Amino acid sequence: MNAQHNASARRRRTAMRGLVAATVLAAVTGTAVPAAAADTAPGAPDAVASAVGIGTTDIQRVEAAAVVRLDPTPDVLLLSDHDFIHAIWQKADAAGERMDAVRTAAESAMAGTSAEEHVAFIVTGIHEAYRLDQQRERDKAEAERAARQARSQVLLTIGIPSTPELLALADDNFVRAVAGHAESGPEVRTAALQALAGDAAAWREFIVNGAREAHQRDVARELEELAERDRKEAERLKELAARKSTAALFGLTASEAMLALADDNFLRELLRQATPDQRTTELYIEAQRAVLSPDPAVWKAYIHTGADAAYKRDAENRRKKLADANRRLALQIQAAAEKTGVNPHLVAAAKKALAGSDDDVTQFLKADTQYRLKRQSLAPWGSPGYVSLSGGKVVLGETVKSTSAKAEREDATWVVLPALASQAGCYSFESVRKPGHYLRSGKAEKDGLRVELAADDRSTAFRKSASWCARDHAMLFGGSGFTQPAGKGVNWLTRSEGALYAGGGLKLPDAAPGAIPTLAASWKFSAPLAP
């Protein structure tokens, strides 16, 4: 039997190398891979069909691996579909926020136990998720570009020299710099100080709209003072201020020659100097509409009020676009967590963020926030206490509670992650107190394999021993059970005399994998004692 399996694997490697080589050649030359070439590869059809747990083709896998820059080596292409998804998940997880949608979709696929779900993710799901990630990255880049442009426009409007150092400041420090600059009038300084007394949204509003509006009030005040002495000069200065402000919205410093143009020609010059990315904005479109009008009042109205209103609509549209993309991703994360049932704290946080502001959703999506929200405490069903660390040993701590010292609460809190052993429906429990250390089954004792805390040494044996598969038996006890993903019989996570064991003398035959050995093997997730 082993000889047949080894021969089949060798045939599959031979066929796979041909397919990968053809795929790479096609990518380089732009030519299609002939169907006959794949079909006639030595042993290809039989070898592919005989691979257990593989329902996808090598070409589909190469295309999926390319999304996360996973090297499609022979060993990778010979993994089962589920293990192949786990390899993709690891690459997406390492990529951080840039591949949040791919990572979440992979976690959802790994939580499924049907082959169809695994195939669907590899063939289409990863590509759909990657498109979401790409769009969100584009939206974020556009928002960042717009934020930098807004700062530049503030400096242009007020007359503050623009420097890379100023533009690179955080929002609150930028507002402080504007408040303290000699070119800022009293209205600008007052508005800046009011913004600094608020939150991040107040700082952004000052940069996008508040500074410009405050400067307009400063100009108006100066004009009122001048009006008493020279009404005509006041009107001229008012017109110049409006033109400079409108030019700043386009990111331009209006020259003297430009300021001397008639209103319609001034608008034409703005349109001529507009950058390509501005040509789809309300600011640009409204300027076009105004310049096409034969009415001089329409030209003047755009310069004095219309450009400002259009710019505000553009800012709001950009904000809504990014906010919508963030909410879609948060909903996707919530759905994936609800499907597994092992991260209720993450589900609750997702619902709270989605019910809150757009800033709440943005904070929820940060990578460090996501990791922290996967914290849970694990309690025995029907008994007091929590799975905890005590003196370096894993015990059932019956005295720890929400009012205990922080160190004790951290000892009883775990980060619930996809299984290190890459097993569908299985999870690993990382210590909050000692990151990188996991619950694993260790040495044999009279009640089974004693559960201990150990650092991940990245070996296959360790990862199997640190993986626990969820078993729902709520119909009898109302809780969930956890078993080891490999080995003879079924080793349940049980408790005995304050200690935890894998098996605990309660191994079950393979013929009855769903049977429940005892209430001692029933557990429930609760809110993290150290959130």
How does DSSP assign 378-422, residue by residue?
EEETTSS-EEEEETTEEEEESS--TTS-HHHHHHT-EEEEE-TT-
Query: Which amino acid, residue 463?
Result: R
Predicted pLDDT at 32: 36
The answer for residues whose C-beta is within 8 angstroms of residue 276's C-beta and 6 or more apart is: none
342-368 average pLDDT score: 94
Long-range contact list for 147-150, CB < 8 A, 24+ apart?
A: 147/204, 147/207, 149/251, 150/207, 150/208, 150/315
- Spatial distance between the Cα atoms of 318 and 324, rounded to a whole number of angstroms: 10
pLDDT above 70: residue 507:
no
Under the banding of pLDDT at 50, 70 and 90, the label for residue 353 is: very high
Closest of 333, 287, 329 to residue 306, by C-alpha: 287
- Residue 451 gets which letter from DSSP? E
Under the banding of pLDDT at 50, 70 and 90, the label for residue 477 is: low
- Spatial distance between the Cα atoms of 248 and 245, rounded to a whole number of angstroms: 5
Q: Are residues 483 and 493 in contact, defined by beta-carbon separation less than 8 angstroms?
A: yes
Q: Are residues 376 and 526 in contact, defined by beta-carbon separation less than 8 angstroms?
A: yes
If one counts every other C-beta atom within 10 angstroms of the C-beta of residue 279, the result is 12
Predicted pLDDT at 39: 37
Q: Are residues 75 and 102 in contact, defined by beta-carbon separation less than 8 angstroms?
A: no
What share of the chain in percent tops pLDDT 70? 85
Closest of 221, 155, 159 to residue 187, by C-alpha: 221
Lowest-pLDDT choice from 127-141, 362-376, 510-524: 510-524
Q: Are residues 306 and 290 in contact, defined by beta-carbon separation less than 8 angstroms?
A: yes
- Spatial distance between the Cα atoms of 231 and 222, rounded to a whole number of angstroms: 12
pLDDT above 80: residue 169:
yes
- Spatial distance between the Cα atoms of 257 and 252, rounded to a whole number of angstroms: 13
Predicted pLDDT at 229: 73
Strand partners, 471: 481
- Spatial distance between the Cα atoms of 118 and 61, rounded to a whole number of angstroms: 12
- Spatial distance between the Cα atoms of 14 and 7, rounded to a whole number of angstroms: 11
Q: Are residues 387 and 378 in contact, defined by beta-carbon separation less than 8 angstroms?
A: yes
pLDDT above 50: residue 41:
no
221-262 pLDDT per residue, tens: 888 877 777 778 888 889 999 999 999 999 999 999 999 999
Instruction: Domain 375-526: state its class.
Output: mainly beta
Predicted pLDDT at 489: 58
- Spatial distance between the Cα atoms of 332 and 324, rounded to a whole number of angstroms: 12
The answer for residues whose C-beta is within 8 angstroms of residue 3's C-beta and 6 or more apart is: none
- Spatial distance between the Cα atoms of 285 and 305, rounded to a whole number of angstroms: 15
Closest of 172, 151, 173 to residue 160, by C-alpha: 151
- Spatial distance between the Cα atoms of 79 and 529, rounded to a whole number of angstroms: 38
Lowest-pLDDT choice from 2-11, 184-193, 326-335: 2-11
Please tell me the total number of residues recorded for the chain in this structure: 531
pLDDT above 70: residue 9:
no
Predicted pLDDT at 496: 86
Six-digit token string for 496: 């005995």
Give the CA count within 13 Å in the CB-facing half-sphere of 155.
19
372-388 average pLDDT score: 92
433-457 average pLDDT score: 91
Predicted pLDDT at 35: 34
Helices (H), 96-170: 100-111, 115-120, 126-158, 164-167
Predicted pLDDT at 503: 78
User: From start to end of 281-405, where are the E strands?
Assistant: 375-380, 386-390, 393-397
23-48 average pLDDT score: 35
The answer for residues whose C-beta is within 8 angstroms of residue 183's C-beta and 6 or more apart is: 158, 159, 160
Under the banding of pLDDT at 50, 70 and 90, the label for residue 29 is: very low
If one counts every other C-beta atom within 10 angstroms of the C-beta of residue 102, the result is 28
- Spatial distance between the Cα atoms of 226 and 237, rounded to a whole number of angstroms: 10
263-308 pLDDT per residue, tens: 999 999 999 999 999 999 999 999 999 999 999 999 999 999 999 9
pLDDT above 90: residue 16:
no
Predicted pLDDT at 367: 87
Under the banding of pLDDT at 50, 70 and 90, the label for residue 21 is: very low
The answer for residues whose C-beta is within 8 angstroms of residue 82's C-beta and 6 or more apart is: 53, 110, 118, 422, 423, 424
Predicted pLDDT at 485: 73
Strand partners, 454: 438
Query: Which amino acid, residue 438?
Result: Y
431-445 average pLDDT score: 93
More reliable by pLDDT, 223 or 464: 464
Domain boundaries, the chain: 2-139, 230-373, 375-526
pLDDT mean across residues, the chain: 85
pLDDT above 70: residue 3:
no
The answer for residues whose C-beta is within 8 angstroms of residue 430's C-beta and 6 or more apart is: 414, 415, 417, 436, 437, 438
Query: Which amino acid, residue 332?
Result: Q
Closest of 282, 288, 256, 257 to residue 270, by C-alpha: 288
- Residue 342 gets which letter from DSSP? S
Q: Are residues 203 and 173 in contact, defined by beta-carbon separation less than 8 angstroms?
A: no
